Amino acid sequence: MNARVLIKNLSALDDGPVSVSGWVETVRDQKKVQFVVLRDESGAVQLVNPRNSDADGVVIADEPATSISSLSQGSFVTVTGQLKHDERVKLGGIEIKLATLEIVTLAIPETPIAADSSLDKRMDWRFLDLRNPKQNLIFRIQTTFEHALRTYWVDNDFIELHTPKLMASASESSAELFEVEYFDTKAYLAQSPQFFKQMAQSAGFGKMFEVGPAFRADPSFTSRHATEFTSIDSEISWIDSHEDVMALHEDLLVAAFTAVKAKHGDEVKTLFDVEVTVPSKPFPRIPLAEAKEIVKQHGYEVPRDDDDMDPEGERRIAAYVKETYGHEFVFLTDYASSIRPFYHMRHEGDAGLTNSYDLIFNGTEISTGAQREHRIDVLVEQAKEKGLDPEELETYLDFFRYGVPAHGGFGMGLARVLMLMLHQTSIREVTYLFRGPTRLEP
């Protein structure tokens, strides 16, 4: 038997014998000829089987006609036949005239989801939902995006780490911790690799990155929150300010978007009607207080009194930046120390502000970054100001008692970036298997 060929590679082959395997998408079982659209992980092709008749014109029940008549949508088959290039064929200008058809697995005829099924219903049957070419493309884009990030990191001498996801104490807010039994004590699922990223700076690694899971016990039901998500993290030493972190962040995103556009831009346009735009450097930077004033002048006043920017404010400032600068990204900088973690460095001469930023992409925050406080005495005092007991942070604080350079970094949500890149309405669409407050399956 001929070796299996991916459907996407058929057009480059000469006419002749081929073998393909895939899922049955549609069957047209006509009197004189049968047509099957077969899809594998790379694309779709039309199969054609002229039916045999006797001298009186009566259709003969032979193979592969009988097997084709029994096919249900989603059945997995392996076929052999003659590849033929024919520009009249709408599906790719090629077709395969069948010789043999083997039914590997026959699908249940009643499909549990359809094109108009609700998102929750589609999540229940995610493995079927993922057969959709749009869904398939999302995860090929994800692969390209991550590969481009890793290429940049590796080419620039970063070290990849895999930090623990079981922790003895909180890395961020203790209110958002998942507690798990751990032998005769308790452990917590890591909300962030934050402390371990900083330990790498004390260890002398200089530059590190990680792409891994993070967990937040946040009972949010918004389109951009999940209880388990993939976090993209990087940390660098020998910085002068958070500007160095923002410059790294820009370089990474430009590299990743360039790779996605080059490899998948045409498909994204066809399936999502979206143009992948490679952002120009530098990204616009707006201090948070100024951003609030801008949206106020444009008719919206951020209602919060906790010094943060709310989701509507993010959308408004993004719209302003798009109109003013023609840019999909904007760094909001200089967040108040009152809403930032104790380990964010304060402004020199103004302890009320931090050397930190949020990165907004197409109206939604995708990342937080900052210069970290590396001076142990200042760090202890800032922890106390936040109501934290330094004794409970001893393991973390020890990192800074033996010499550590000025450093900073960021954490970025992978699913949010993909969602906003493809103009999707929920991170559930771009997460392989979503986890939220009410979803633990499949």
Is 406:236 a contact under the CB 8 Å cutoff?
A: no
Rounded Cα distance between 90 and 80, Å, is 21
Q: What is the mean pLDDT of residues 320-346?
A: 97
Model's pTM, two decimal places? 0.93
Q: Percent of the chain beyond pLDDT 70?
A: 97
Could you give all domains of the chain from N- to C-terminal order, each with its CATH number? Answer: 7-105 (2.40.50.140), 126-430 (3.30.930.10)
Alpha-helix runs per DSSP H in 90-241:
119-124, 126-129, 133-155, 194-202
pLDDT tens sequence across 236-276 = 999 999 999 999 999 999 999 999 999 999 999 999 999 99
The token duo for 175 is 């209110």
The total number of residues shown for the chain amounts to: 442
255 assigned to a ligand binding site = no
Rounded Cα distance between 287 and 272, Å, is 34
415 assigned to a ligand binding site = yes
Q: State residue 53's pLDDT score.
A: 78
Nearest to 74 by CA among 146, 113, 12, 23: 23
Q: Strands, DSSP E only, in 276-417? A: 285-287, 329-333, 346-347, 350-354, 356-361, 364-371, 407-413
- Round the average pLDDT of the chain to a whole number and report it: 94
Q: State residue 290's pLDDT score.
A: 96
Q: State residue 303's pLDDT score.
A: 85
414 assigned to a ligand binding site = yes
Q: State residue 58's pLDDT score.
A: 74
Three-class SS state of 295: helix
* pLDDT confidence tier of residue 79, bands split at 50, 70 and 90: very high
- Secondary-structure breakdown of the chain: helix, strand, coil percentages, each rounded to the nearest 5: 35, 30, 40
pLDDT beyond 60 at 161: yes
Provide φ and ψ at 2, rounded to 5°. Answer: -65, 150
pLDDT beyond 60 at 1: no
* pLDDT confidence tier of residue 235, bands split at 50, 70 and 90: very high
416 assigned to a ligand binding site = yes
Rounded Cα distance between 300 and 287, Å, is 17
409 assigned to a ligand binding site = no
372 assigned to a ligand binding site = yes
Rounded Cα distance between 392 and 404, Å, is 21
Three-class SS state of 422: coil
301 assigned to a ligand binding site = no
352 assigned to a ligand binding site = no
Q: What is the mean pLDDT of residues 39-55?
A: 90
Q: State residue 54's pLDDT score.
A: 73
Rounded Cα distance between 63 and 103, Å, is 12
Is 364:420 a contact under the CB 8 Å cutoff?
A: yes
Q: State residue 223's pLDDT score.
A: 87
Question: Torsion-angle region of residue 33: left (phi > 0), alpha (psi -120 to 50) or beta?
Answer: beta
Rounded Cα distance between 329 and 310, Å, is 17
Q: 98 has which bridge partners?
A: 81
Nearest to 424 by CA among 173, 93, 132: 132
Rounded Cα distance between 255 and 154, Å, is 13
Q: State residue 248's pLDDT score.
A: 98
Element (H, E) at 24: strand 16-29
- DSSP 8-state symbol, 4: B
The DSSP annotation for 218-286 comes to ----STT--SEEEEEEEEEES-SSHHHHHHHHHHHHHHHHHHHHHHHHHHHHHHH-----PPPSSPPEE
The DSSP annotation for 30-79 comes to -SSEEEEEEE-SS-EEEEEEEPPB-TTSPBP--TTHHHHHT--TT-EEEE
* pLDDT confidence tier of residue 344, bands split at 50, 70 and 90: very high
Q: What is the mean pLDDT of residues 22-38?
A: 94
Q: What is the mean pLDDT of residues 314-338?
A: 97
pLDDT beyond 90 at 336: yes
Rounded Cα distance between 207 and 341, Å, is 22
- For residue 346, the one-letter residue type is R
Is 320:326 a contact under the CB 8 Å cutoff?
A: no
150 assigned to a ligand binding site = no
